[in-house]
Amino acid sequence: MKILNKALLAAPAIAAALPAHAQDAMSLDERVNTIFAEFTGPFVSLIFAPLPGTSFPWIVLWLVVAASVFTIYFSFVQLRYFSHAVSLVKGDYSDPDDAGEVSHFQALATALSGTVGLGNIAGVAVAVGIGGPGATFWMILAGLLGMASKFTECTLGVKYRNEYPDGTVSGGPMYYISKGFKERGLPGGGALAILFSVFCILGALGGGNMFQANQAHAQIAGIVGDYPGWITGLVFAGVVFAVIVGGIKSIANVTEKVVPFMGILYVGAALVILLVNYDQIGWAFGQIFAGAFTGLGVAGGFVGALIQGFKRAAFSNEAGVGSAAIAHSAVRTKEPITEGFVSLLEPLIDTVVICTMTALVITISGQLLIDPDTGLYMLDGSAIATVDGNSGVSLTSAAFGASISWFPYVLAIAVVLFAFSTMISWSYYGLKSWTYLFGEGKTSELIFKVIFCVFIVIGAAASLGPVIDFSDAAIFAMAVVNITALYFLMSIVREELRSYSERLRSGEIKKFAH
Amino acid sequence: MTTKLVIGLDGAGSGDRALSYATDLAKRIGDCELLVAYVIEWSPYSFQTAEENAQRHKRREEEISTAMTRVVDPAVEGLRKNGMTASGIVRHGDVAHTLNSICEKEGGHQIIVCRSSEGGITKRIFGSSTANLVMSATVPVTVIG
C-alpha cells in the first residue's frame, strides 16, 4: 500500500504540472515518453522474449498452443455449437419469466464494446503495416481458434462468479481461479488469482486505457493538426472521470447507444469500399495467402507476418486474456455453459469479420508500397513503407480516405467513441481486479478510478512505440496466468459441456415459445 | 366457468377508468376473476455497460418491487374492497407482446387497457403499444377512452 500511496500522491502532481508546462509541451511529451519507456522496458522485454535461438516470442506460441489445445479438447466446439450460440443470442432458450435480467445478447454486446474498437482499426493497421497482408491470414486463424479459448473462460466466469446478497455480481478469472482450484484441491489458486488481478490492472491501464488515449489523440491530431497529446488526455480523463467517478450515466448511456451504430457504419463503409473495388478483392486475398506463407518481403518473412497476425488478433479479441469472462459473468443463467457458447461469437465478429474488413481495405487502398520490379513490399525500417509514412490508425484512415474522402472525419469520431467505450469497459475490468485485491468499498474504488484517469493523460502524451509495447505486454501477461489456470480447470468445462449436450439431445433443454 | 379479465395499467390516473370498467363488467358477468398487470418496458437487445449488467438483477428486483407497491397492489386492494377476486402481476418486456403472453398463460378471456395515459410514472402501455396490442392480441381487447 506504500507504493500505492506514493502513486496517489504523485498522480495529482503530474496532472497539475501538465498545464504549467504547456509552452514546453513537446518536451513534456518526450519526457513522459522517456520515463514511461524506461519504467516499462524490463516488463515488456520479459513478456516478448524470443524462444531460444529464434526470433519467435514465446508468448505468441503460448496463445496459439492454448487456443489449439482448447479447440481439440472440446472437439471444435466453435463449429459444432455455432448455430446453437446464435439461437441463444436470439433468445430462443431464454425463459420469458426471466425477462428483465441481463440477456445473452446484452452480455455479448457489452463484451464486444470492450473489444471492438481501436484493435480493429489501429491494431490491424499495425499488423498489416509490419507483417503485410499475410498477417491477416494468421489473424483470421487466431480468431477462429480463439473462439475455443473464449468459450472456456466465459463458461468458468459464470460458473464461479460471486453473487452478493444485494443481487449484484462479480466474476472473472480471479474468482474462477481461486474457487476452481480450491474445488479441485489444487494448490496455488489464491496466488494465481492475485497475480491475474495485478496483470489485469496493468492491462486496464495499458491496452484498455493508454493505447486508446494514444490512438484517439493520433486520429484527432491527424484531422486538426498536431498539438500536444496531454490536451487530448486531459479532456478524455475529464469525461471518463465524470462517468466512472461522477456517476454521470447519461454520457455512458449515449456512448453505449452510439458505439454500435458507429460499428455498423464502419463495417458498412468497409463493405462499400470492397464492393466498389470488387475487382481487387481476389487480388487482395491473393496477397493475404501469398504473404501468409512467404511474407512478400516483410521483415522476418512469413514468421514476421505470423507473429504480427497472432499478436494483433489476441490484442483485438482478447481470447485467452480473461477480460471477457468479467463482462460475461453478469448473465443470470442456470446453465453457465450457455454464456460460453455465446462468447465464442466474439472473436468471430471482432477478428474474423471486422479485422478482416480493415485489412482488406488497407490492402486494396494501395497505401502499402510495392516494388514494381519484384512485387515485394518496400520496407521503411522494419515496417512496410506507406504512401504518406502513415502507421497505426492514420494508415487505416488514409486507406478509407482513398475511397471515401470524407470518411476520415467519421473515423475520427468513431475512434474517439470506440476509445471512450473501451476505456469505460476496461475501467470496470480493472476495478473488479482492484476490488478483488483490496476489497470492495468506495475509497478503494475511488483510488483506482483516479489512477485510471491519470494514465489516460500519460497514454495520450507518450508516443506510440512504448505505449503499444506496454499495452501488449500487460494484456499478454494476463493471458499467461489465465491460460495456465484454464489448463487446470478445462475438465470442469468439459463436464459441463457433456451434461448440457446430453440434455439438449434428450430434449430436456428446449426452446421457449416467445 | 370463471371468466378471467386482464387489466393492463401504466401507473397513470387513466388506469382508474380501466379498473372501473373492469369492475363493472365483472359484476355483470358474475363468476369473474381480475388480474392486474403492469409491464415494465424492457428489451433484451438494448446496450448496457458492464457495471449496469453487474447490477441488473438488483435493479430488476427494485423495479418489480416499486411497480408492485405503487401501482399493482393499490389497484388489487381497491378491487378486493369492491368485492372482486383480484390478483396482480409485474413483468418486463415489450408491453403489447407481454400483456398478451400474460393473458394466454393465465387463461385470460379479455384484456382491458386505457387509450391514453395522463403522464405519471411511465407511459408504457398506451399510444403505439395499445395499437400493437389491438393488432396482435389473441383475445378480445377493450380500449377505454
pLDDT digits (tens, 9 = 90+) for A433-459: 999 999 888 898 899 999 999 999 988
Q: Which residues of B touch A170 (CB under 8 A)?
A: 54
User: In chain B, which residue's Cα lies nearest the Cα of A330?
Assistant: B54
Q: Does A175 touch chain B (CB under 8 A)?
A: no
Round to whole Å and give the CA distance between A82 and A312. Answer: 24
Q: Does residue B13 register a pLDDT over 90? A: no
Q: How far apart are CA A380 and CA A129, in angstroms?
A: 10
Between A329-333, A339-343, A399-403, B137-141, the lowest mean confidence (pLDDT) is in A329-333
Mutation pick from B43, B46, B57 vs chain A, by most beta carbons of A within 10 Å, is B57
Closest-CA distance of chain A to residue B92, Å = 5
Please name the member of B46, B61, B101 whose beta carbon is closest to the beta carbon of A106: B46
pLDDT given for residue A154 in this prediction: 96
Q: Which of B40, B50, B60 sits opposite A101 (nearest CB)?
A: B60
d(CA A486, CA A347): 18
Calculate mean pLDDT across residues A170-187.
95
Nearest CB to B53 within list A94, A102, A424: A102
Nearest CB neighbour to B42, from listed A99, A170, A326: A99
CA distance A166 to chain B (A): 6
Residue count (chain A)? 514
pTM over 0.90: no
Q: Which residue carries 480473461 as its cell? A: A322
- Chain A residues within 8 A of B95 when measuring between CB atoms: none
User: Angle at Cα B91 formed by Cα B86 and Cα B94, nearest 5°?
Assistant: 125
Residue B106 forms contact with A (CB below 8 Å): no
B-chain CB neighbours of A103 within 8 Å are: 44-45
B50 to chain A, minimum CA–CA distance in Å?
6
pLDDT surpassing 70 at residue A471: yes
Does the beta carbon of B66 lie under 8 angstroms from any beta carbon of chain A?
no
Query: Is the predicted pLDDT of residue A19 greater than 70, yes or no?
Result: no
Q: Specify the DSSP element, H or E, that contains A149.
A: helix A134-159
> How many CB atoms sit inside 10 A of residue A92's CB?
15
Please determine, for residue A23, whether its predicted confidence score (pLDDT) is greater than 70: no
Residue B35 has a pLDDT of 96
Shortest CB distance from B91 goes to which of A99, A332, A428?
A99
Residue A17's pLDDT band (cuts 50, 70, 90) = very low
A213-261 pLDDT tens trace: 888 888 788 778 888 888 999 999 998 988 888 766 666 667 667 778 8
B98 inside 8 A of chain A by CB: yes
More confident residue, A133 or B15: A133
How many angstroms away from the CA of B53 is the closest CA of chain A?
6
Q: From the candidates B53, B61, B65, B97, which should be mutated to test the interface with A, based on the most A CB atoms within 10 A?
A: B53
Residue B136 contacts A, CB cutoff 8 Å:
no
A 20-79 near B (Cβ less than 8 A): none
Q: Is the pLDDT of residue B118 over 80?
A: no
Q: What integer best gives the mean pLDDT of chain A?
A: 86
Cβ atoms of residues A481 and A436 within 8 Å: no
Least confident of A192-206, A272-286, A472-486, B114-128: B114-128
Q: Give pLDDT, residue B128.
A: 67
Residue A15 has pLDDT above 60, yes or no: no
Burial of A95 (0-12, 13-18, 19+ CB in 10 A): exposed
What is the structure's pLDDT at B71? 93
| A347 at B interface, C-beta within 8 A | no
Inter-chain touch B48–A110, beta carbons under 8 Å: yes
Using the beta-carbon criterion (under 8 Å), do B54 and A103 form an inter-chain contact?
no
Q: Which range in A36-40, A115-119, A158-162, B8-12 is most confidently predicted, on average pLDDT?
A: A158-162
Cβ neighbours of B64 in A, within 8 Å: 100
Q: Is A445 on the interface with B (CB under 8 A)?
A: no
CB pairs A-B closer than 8 Å: 84
Q: What number of other Cβ atoms are within 10 A of residue A60's Cβ?
A: 24
Highest mean pLDDT among A163-167, A330-334, B108-112: B108-112
**Are A382 and A348 a contacting pair, CB within 8 Å?**
no
A84-140 pLDDT per residue, tens: 999 999 999 998 888 888 999 988 988 888 888 777 888 889 889 988 899 999 999
Q: Is B56 on the interface with A (CB under 8 A)?
A: yes
Q: Closest by alpha carbon to A454, among A44, A22, A14? A: A14
CA A216 to chain centre: 15
Burial class (CB in 10 A: 0-12, 13-18, 19+), A263: buried
Mean pLDDT of B58-65: 93
**pLDDT, position B121:** 47
Task: Enumerate residues 15 to 44 of chain B having a beta carbon within 8 A of any beta carbon in chain A.
Answer: 40, 42, 44
**Residue B85 β-bridge partners:** B33
Report whether A451 contacts A25 (CB < 8 A): no
In whole angstroms, give the CA distance from residue A402 to residue A478: 38
pLDDT at A11 exceeding the cut of 50:
no
